[in-house]
Structure 1
Amino acid sequence: MSNEVYITKSSTYLPNGPVSNDEMEDYLGLVNGKPSKAKALILRNNGIKTRYYALDKNGNFTHTNAEITAKAVEGLFDDQFTKEDMQLLSCGTTSADQIQPSHASMVHGVLKPSHSIEVNTSMGLCNSGMNALNYAYLSVKAGAVNNAVAAGSERFSAWMTADKFNHEVENLKLLEEKPIVAFKREFLRWMLSDGSGAFLLENKPRENQLNLRIEFIDFYSYAHELEACMYSGSEKQEDGSLKSWAEYSSDEWLNQSIFALKQDTRLLDEYILKKGAQSLRASFDKHNLDPNDMDFVLAHISSNYFKDGLREEFAAVGLDFPVEKWYYNLSEVGNIGAASIFIVTDELIKSGKLQKGQKVLLCIPESGRFAYSCAVLTVC
């Protein structure tokens, strides 16, 4: 017999203060010593007004990803649940501080409870946070543990500082090419943010407060149909395949920004919304759900550019959610990848808008090679 699983507490950690659009290059630096020509256009389209960086204006890092994650997890601890009560820690991120050891192991090391616990790390892109949540959810549901902490986090700023791109610019100069960073690389400098969010999952709801019961979490991948759209540690080839960093020389790692996070914006525009609608329709059919029963729709989007298009694509497959049901915070906190859905859910929980019996729909796209997840939560 499986257990019901409840989100009994949520937490967000955003490092330092909000950074305005005009301040971004004060923190990230100037590539080739010049202001970006693409920045204004990208910001106008994505609609992000402020974001957070684990950086100061001197380019010094103020937090590691593991420390950012630990801060969100610590926000879950109280008189009813201390770090000594934690049985499982499941963490998802795109931007771990190192290739090995695992990110969750590093977070466990920062938290330093007095006991050994099970740790799980999910690596990938935006869905890595939901993968981490799913592992925690299934562990509690199966009765393997009574509680689990799931977290999503990013420290993208460390990938986006100007020095990471200057080697490529110098190489382009030597080749007498136009000395700018390719748009597919620069695009993401103005999209991404740092931060973390965490949920406490338990097999019983807490009394005298609102809890969110997880009804299901579904995942869909379209990698069998589509090539990679967002990638790092590799370079896309003419046939759409990815050539691994391990197949390049160490000089090429710098000159071609092999480790930079890149986005094929052509593929993004063509498929991200269409496949998102297809996957969500499949979940609604699988669980025999009525879209009218959803009270809040929390869709992770990378840019406000996609807002209207996403609603239209959903409506085209019979999922016509009224505008007033959609809940976003992208403009205020930026795109925090694997952490975004945790953070917006935490904000909704603390907004005072939720009432018992309401249903919350979570939708998370991942453009890496077009993977999607969704979940339904019931307020109880």
Structure 2
Amino acid sequence: MKDVYITRVSKFLPNDPISNDEMESVLGQINGKPSKARRVVLRNNGIERRYYAINKDGEFTHSNAKLTQEAISNLFDDSFTENDMELLCCGTSTPDQLLPSHAAMVHGLLANRNLEINSASGICCAGMSSLKFGYLSVKAGNSNNAVCTGSERASTKILANKFKEEADSLASLEKLPIIAFKKEFLRWMLSDGAGAMLLQNKKNDDSLSLKIDWVESYSFAHELETCMYSGGEKLEDGSIKSWTEYSSKQWLEESIFSIKQDVKLLEKNVIEKGVESMEMVFKKQSKDPSDIDYFLPHISSYYFADKLKKCIKESGLNIPESSWFTNLSKVGNVGSASIYLMLEELMSSGRLKKGDKIMLSVPESGRFSYAYAHLTVC
């Protein structure tokens, strides 16, 4: 089995950053009225700016595949070109189409050479699933290198016009002309962007590399119902009714394709199950977390940060609070790309030194999945 190293990390964030006060001018106002939830959600999540693949005129500037291709292209130079790639692994929760796969569309834009591709679906853990597929391929000797990505173009799902039919219906029934909080909550959380990692079976000669010690993931879908979803509606019994069972008229009237969040279920379980899975991974790896130098937790909101710190401490996991590293306030919640963007910023910071231990932590509230990776700077 080969050792596997992250030798390069890159990112691509579209257009100029959007401040909190500019959000509705880009996304639009539902039913022509300012959101009553926006300030409450923004106050809690702590996000100060984010990026959209939309220009100031409301025109789409990048597809998800294009965002991903741009991030990947930033990995290349004369010593490693697009034609040196052997495996492309792409993870996202917001592909541009149902078919073909996201990785196939990215490969089409790269237009480099014949290579193996893999697409990872899901929500935030999709980027980590992409990383794990590449890691296992290089480790097993199936490939000498792999390019792994996480990317999102969530903005297209949170534009006001995606909710217009439902808002009009609510207004005609003399109800409050706003979307239910579970549907509007994520409008003020999500951002667009992409990140990419180059994995190789040898480390860099003239710069730092990150040796992947292990990648682990856990799902709690066997005991918890769906929390975050799109392309369906949640029924009273907790099951999801698929978009394929609704008429095309209902797709619009009930905003079936909007991204929804059961916030009560999120609040109750996301931290508890996160710490439970951390305990499982440290036990499995016989790992003492007290020597972690950089802990990179993907959190959707700073609202959860103190809760997570408290729960970790109460569990007896000695992850140093001084090791926490996140850039949520500067780039927003970019779903499966967030962990890539954090690692890229850390690697570019000049703070890392040989021997440092890095822990990546990614929760996914879809049906509560968690993924972790442990890295050593070398």
TM-score of the pair, normalised by structure 2: 0.99
- Residue 185 (structure 2) pairs with residue 187 (structure 1): yes
Structure 1 counterpart of 2:343, from 345, 348, 371: 345
Secondary structure of 1:84's partner? helix
RMSD in angstroms over aligned alpha carbons?
A: 0.7
Query: How do 1:1-380 residues align onto structure 2 when only pairs under 5 Å count?
Result: 2-113=1-112, 115-380=113-378
Cα deviation, residue 377, structure 1:
0.2
Q: Distance in 2 between matches of 1:54 and 1:200?
A: 24
Q: Distance in 2 between matches of 1:40 and 1:315?
A: 31
Please, which moves more after superposition, 171-180 or 19-28? 171-180
Secondary structure of 1:269's partner? helix
Letter of the 1:180 counterpart: I
Please give the per-residue CA displacement for 1:242-298, whole angstroms capped at 9, x wherever unaligned. Answer: 000001111100000001000000000000000000001111011111111111100
Is 2:216–2:371's contact at 8 Å kept on the other side of the alignment?
Answer: yes
Q: Distance in 2 between matches of 1:320 and 1:156?
A: 35
Q: Distance in 2 between matches of 1:89 and 1:171?
A: 44
Please give the per-residue CA displacement for 1:328-372, whole angstroms capped at 9, x wherever unaligned. Answer: 100000000000000100100011111101100000000000000
Cα deviation, residue 314, structure 1:
1.3
- The unaligned stretches of length 5 or more in structure 2 are none
Q: Distance in 1 between matches of 2:168 and 2:357?
A: 53
Is 2:356–2:377's contact at 8 Å kept on the other side of the alignment?
Answer: yes
Is 1:11–1:346's contact at 8 Å kept on the other side of the alignment?
Answer: yes
Cα deviation, residue 57, structure 1:
2.1
Letter of the 1:292 counterpart: S
Is 2:292–2:320's contact at 8 Å kept on the other side of the alignment?
Answer: no
Please give the per-residue CA displacement for 1:74-131, whole angstroms capped at 9, x wherever unaligned. Answer: 0110111100000110000010000000000000011110x21111001110000000
- The unaligned stretches of length 5 or more in structure 1 are none
Q: Distance in 1 between matches of 2:98 and 2:331?
A: 27
Q: Distance in 2 between matches of 1:166 and 1:59?
A: 16
Cα deviation, residue 316, structure 1:
1.8
Is 2:290–2:320's contact at 8 Å kept on the other side of the alignment?
Answer: no
Letter of the 1:366 counterpart: E
Is 1:169–1:181's contact at 8 Å kept on the other side of the alignment?
Answer: yes
Please give the per-residue CA displacement for 1:182-225, whole angstroms capped at 9, x wherever unaligned. Answer: 10000000000000000000000010210000000001000000
Q: Distance in 1 between matches of 2:310 and 2:362?
A: 17
User: Number of matched residues?
Assistant: 378
Q: Distance in 1 between matches of 2:136 and 2:312?
A: 28
Secondary structure of 1:107's partner? helix
Q: Distance in 2 between matches of 1:128 and 1:232?
A: 15
Q: Distance in 1 between matches of 2:30 and 2:290?
A: 49
Secondary structure of 1:58's partner? coil
Please give the per-residue CA displacement for 1:109-154, whole angstroms capped at 9, x wherever unaligned. Answer: 11110x2111100111000000001000000000000000000000
Cα deviation, residue 175, structure 1:
2.7
Cα deviation, residue 174, structure 1:
2.5
Q: Distance in 2 between matches of 1:350 and 1:123?
A: 28
Q: Distance in 2 between matches of 1:60 and 1:313?
A: 43
Is 1:311–1:320's contact at 8 Å kept on the other side of the alignment?
Answer: no
Q: Distance in 2 between matches of 1:54 and 1:179?
A: 27
Letter of the 1:239 counterpart: D
